[in-house]
Amino acid sequence: ARNPRARASPRGATRVVAPRVLARAPGVLRAAVAARATHKFAKYQGLGNDFVMIDERDGPVGAPSITGEQAAKMCDRNFGIGADGVIVAMPKGSAEYPGRVVEEEDYAMRMFNSDGTEPEMCGNGIRCLANFVAAIDDADPRAYKVGTLAGLIQPECKPDGQVAVDMGVPTLTPADVPTKLAATEDGAAVKSQMTVDGATWLATAVSMGNPHCVTFGREKGDEKGLAVDDMDLAAIGPSFESHETFPARTNTEFVEVVRRDYVKMRVWERGAGATLACGTGACATVVAGVLEGRTDRKCTVELPGGPLEIEWRESDSRVIMTGPAELVFYGEIDA
């Protein structure tokens, strides 16, 4: 419900104003409102994973104009717009990554989590970004090359509104994830033991440009697999996120295998907590499932917000993610 003390400005932004201020200094308030700086935004969601989108492609190359603190306020679901993160479309060359060739980029992506930290990228977020930019540019369905802190990512907008994203080749070398888990199979940390809150879990470490800890259960007690709908993520998620074996913290996926081509997954995201969906997490889930011999390379990952179609291609080891990205609303907010 809308705050009864909120007054809509002539430009559409909403500010909470004490009635006594309106009564005592209406002229001062009108002048302040007229002179204030604002951010135009659109809110998008991909399977319920929602983002505030801002277009700064016409601005200077480099960091976004907003800070992590401002982003956290925008994401607040009681006093802000409400979102899992803020994503900014930036001029090409605004994201540093190894082997970058700026001329290859169409634009760059920078983002903040709901706690104000800046991750490397976000799978659901880049689908939303692609449809956001296409809508602003009134472009026909097409593919983009987007520079991110995780590297060059290539989303393709489809005529039906779905977005297919070439997420690249997963990183499995423990030191590069990064994780302190020891390599167990072909240089990767697969079904490695990890003690969390006194229980030993079996975890596989995968980076999709950001770190993921994927688990199908504990070493003892989950022989029949996890029942993810019954898990209390808020109770255990933070212990995984900040575990000492992941020096940059980690996203954590808890996975229940229904069939080799269909799994259910619940995610605790680094910097955001439990969310309805995580694109990079869905990709990491299938990679881990293949490495552990639990899933096929083409697999549907069912999240609380809906399904994502994931393929880890054997021909070139690239991961392809396909799913929706939809506009919720747009407006302006005070800078």
- Please work out, in degrees rounded to the nearest 5, the angle formed at the alpha carbon of residue 67 by the alpha carbons of 64 and 69: 155
Whether residue 213 lies in the annotated active site: no
Whether residue 122 lies in the annotated active site: yes
Q: Strands 38-46 and 49-55: what pairing?
A: antiparallel
Q: Which of 75, 128, 278, 283 is catalytic?
A: 278
Contact between residue 165 and residue 127 where contact means Cβ atoms under 8 Å apart: yes
Contact between residue 131 and residue 161 where contact means Cβ atoms under 8 Å apart: yes
Within the chain, strands assigned E span 6-8, 14-16, 38-46, 49-55, 85-90, 107-113, 146-148, 151-157, 162-166, 192-196, 199-207, 211-218, 251-259, 262-269, 273-274, 298-303, 306-312, 319-324, 326-334
The C-alpha atoms of residue 162 and residue 218 are separated, in whole angstroms, by 35
The C-alpha atoms of residue 245 and residue 139 are separated, in whole angstroms, by 44
**Among candidate residues 253, 335, 269, the one with its CA nearest the CA of residue 302:** 253
- Please work out, in degrees rounded to the nearest 5, the angle formed at the alpha carbon of residue 266 by the alpha carbons of 264 and 271: 155
- The residue length of the chain stands at 335
Q: Partners of 331 in the beta sheet?
A: 41
The C-alpha atoms of residue 258 and residue 320 are separated, in whole angstroms, by 21
Q: Which of 122, 157, 213, 299 is catalytic?
A: 122
239 by Cβ neighbours in 10 Å (0-12 / 13-18 / 19+) ranks as: middle
Q: Which residues are the active-site residues? A: 122, 278
